[in-house]
Amino acid sequence: MKKYLIKYDYLLAEVVALIYYSLLCAKEWSWMFVSGDSGDWLAASSIWLVPQPYGSPLYILLGHFINLLPVDLVLGMTIGLSVIPASITVAITYLIVKKLFNIKLAIVSSLMLLSSAIFLSQATILEEYAIATMFLTLAVYFYVSDKKKLTLLILGLAGAIHIIAIAIAFLWLVLEFKNIKQWYKNFWIYFLVGIVPYGLILLLMYLPTPRLIAGDLSLGNLNSYLGSSGTIGSLSIYEAPKRILSFIQIVSISLSLGIVPFVLAFKKPWNNYTRIMIVTVVFCMWLYITNIDPSTWTFMCFAMPMMCIMIAIGLNKVKLQNEHIALISMFAIMLIIINSFSLNANLLTQEYSQATKYEQAVKELPDNSCIVLSSGGQYGLGLIYIMSQGKDVIPIYYCGDNYENDARYQSYVDYMDSKYSIRGSNTLEQVQDAIKQGKEVYMLNTMLRPEWKDSFNLEKINSSFFSKVASTNQLPVFEVQKR
């Protein structure tokens, strides 16, 4: 009995994590913990359409699979693609550290991961980070076990979930340059599993899917689609001190006292797996520190299990290991308890239920009415999800200041004409045409851009989200945006 317990102890780690994350996860549609993209993932899992850049083909395929099951799609995707993968990640972290060191350090590492605020946040909401992290951690396990084919296979699956995993795979390849021939021999596995799935996005562009997030398959549209999220590495130097402070804060509550052994893990000599982990961790930190989007702390989720493994590496280097372990574990358990109240996605979603309130507000609008809003962000993406559930509304997107040269917007204009018979080369013309056709037009208050304010005469209605467009004036004069 004891033999089996020791052999399958990682299952215990998984069950504990599964119960913890299941209790804490959001049970309804939520935008909690920067999961504003959830509307997009739900829409792309309900109907066939091109999701936001850069596609996440495997994630939406899994979403479609869950949609076939007789379960609620929101709960099914949260549990199936976040909670279960996150609990598996805890078990894999345990297994890796047990394989490298001993059970004691394995328990500390899995406790640290369980107490991590960044990882917890992404494990309990509908997002793609938990499952991509699971594959990345599993790839580390196979790398440590020297199973190259399986490493490539799993690394490929991570890449097909989130494009950042492809960049991470490239960095691993650079570190493994000495063994490039061995990796190259099996590279086809990675290509087949990690790169080919992105063909689905091209196929969806080619097929007559709704032209809401991406246009037809053309070079112009691809350029517009791929170039629409260039936020990495462009944080202003003036914003840097504030970002570094946020970075210190978020890392301090995610690693807590584990920071001490984590730093010790950087002490040389490094072996192959330490190098792989260091490069992944540093890359994810760089992604957040230099990104102009302040919500990209979620990218550090990819590195969280590796940071926890590095804590074990650091602890393995200290004297009085037991005392360090006792102190760090005690803090981790304390954080696990505090987080279960304070960062409880289920309770927070009920308290700040913006997503479901928005859904209700859209459903209360008359059928066949138009909504003016941005195409991206939680409201725009959420609207596509609500439409995919059968609500009959028409989205009129802000055209932006360079709409005449934006192939994606031109594709959308054609789609509006063919699908809804609303004509107009920009937002204002489309709104005017909709009003002329007798449709009711509403504008999302929170996303009303300053330059558009003078273009619409708005009427207040009994909704905290929308105002009614009574009439229109002129197209705003766009100024070159200072960035």
Partner 1 sequence: MNIIKSILTYKNYLISYCLIALIMGMSYFPVKSMMIDQTPWFTVQASELTLNVILLYGLVGLMIDKQTKKMSKVKSWGIFIIAFIMLTLFFVIVGGFNIRGLNLH
Residues within the interface to partner 1 (CB under 8 A): 31-34, 36, 117, 121, 230-231, 233-240, 242-243, 246, 248-250, 252-253, 256-257, 259-260, 286, 289-290, 292-295, 297, 318-320, 322-324, 326-327, 331, 338, 342-343, 348, 352, 354, 374, 376-379, 446-447, 483
Give the residue with the Cβ less far from partner 1, 273 or 331.
Answer: 331
Angle separating helix axes 129-144 and 84-100, nearest 10 degrees: 20
Give the residue with the Cβ less far from partner 1, 24 or 140.
Answer: 24
Whole-angstrom distance, CA of residue 46 vs CA of residue 5: 42
Give the residue with the Cβ less far from partner 1, 38 or 93.
Answer: 38
Q: Show the tokens assigned to 269.
A: 């000599």
Give Cα 147 to chain centroid, integer Å: 29
Give the residue with the Cβ less far from partner 1, 73 or 257.
Answer: 257
> Smallest distance from the beta carbon of 476 to partner 1, in angstroms?
19
Whole-angstrom distance, CA of residue 367 vs CA of residue 386: 13
> Smallest distance from the beta carbon of 418 to partner 1, in angstroms?
29
Spatial CB neighbours of 81, under 8 Å, sequence gap ≥ 6? 59, 62, 63, 66, 126, 128, 130, 131
Whole-angstrom distance, CA of residue 109 vs CA of residue 116: 11
Give the residue with the Cβ less far from partner 1, 256 or 430.
Answer: 256
Q: Phi then psi for 198, rounded to 5 degrees? A: -65, -15
Of residues 170, 176, 175, the one with CA closest to residue 156:
170
Omega before residue 54 within 30° of 0, cis: yes
Give the residue with the Cβ less far from partner 1, 46 or 354.
Answer: 354
> Smallest distance from the beta carbon of 463 to partner 1, in angstroms?
17
Q: Which whole-number Å values give the CA distances from 230 to 53, 169, 171, 225, in the listed order?
A: 10, 20, 20, 11
Beta-sheet pairing, 369-373 with 393-397: parallel
> Smallest distance from the beta carbon of 141 to partner 1, in angstroms?
29
Give the residue with the Cβ less far from partner 1, 156 or 380.
Answer: 380
The amino acid sitting at 471 is S
Give the residue with the Cβ less far from partner 1, 156 or 261.
Answer: 261
> Smallest distance from the beta carbon of 352 to partner 1, in angstroms?
6
> Smallest distance from the beta carbon of 323 to partner 1, in angstroms?
4
Give the residue with the Cβ less far from partner 1, 230 or 366.
Answer: 230
> Smallest distance from the beta carbon of 297 to partner 1, in angstroms?
8
Q: What is the DSSP string of 158-202?
A: HHHH-THHHHHHHHHHHHTGGGHHHHHHTHHHHIIIIIGGGHHHH
Helix H or strand E encompassing 351:
helix 345-351
Contact criterion met (CB below 8 Å) for 104 and 273: no
Q: Which whole-number Å values give the CA distances from 18 to 134, 307, 313, 377, in the listed order?
A: 14, 21, 25, 30
Give the residue with the Cβ less far from partner 1, 36 or 476.
Answer: 36
Beta-sheet pairing, 441-444 with 466-472: antiparallel
Q: Phi then psi for 65, rounded to 5 degrees? A: -65, -45
Give the residue with the Cβ less far from partner 1, 159 or 314.
Answer: 314
Give the residue with the Cβ less far from partner 1, 45 or 374.
Answer: 374
> Smallest distance from the beta carbon of 304 to partner 1, in angstroms?
14
> Smallest distance from the beta carbon of 249 to partner 1, in angstroms?
4
> Smallest distance from the beta carbon of 319 to partner 1, in angstroms?
8
Whole-angstrom distance, CA of residue 51 vs CA of residue 45: 9
> Smallest distance from the beta carbon of 358 to partner 1, in angstroms?
10
> Smallest distance from the beta carbon of 349 to partner 1, in angstroms?
10
Beta-sheet pairing, 441-444 with 456-460: unpaired
Q: Phi then psi for 76, rounded to 5 degrees? A: -60, -45
Contact criterion met (CB below 8 Å) for 332 and 114: yes
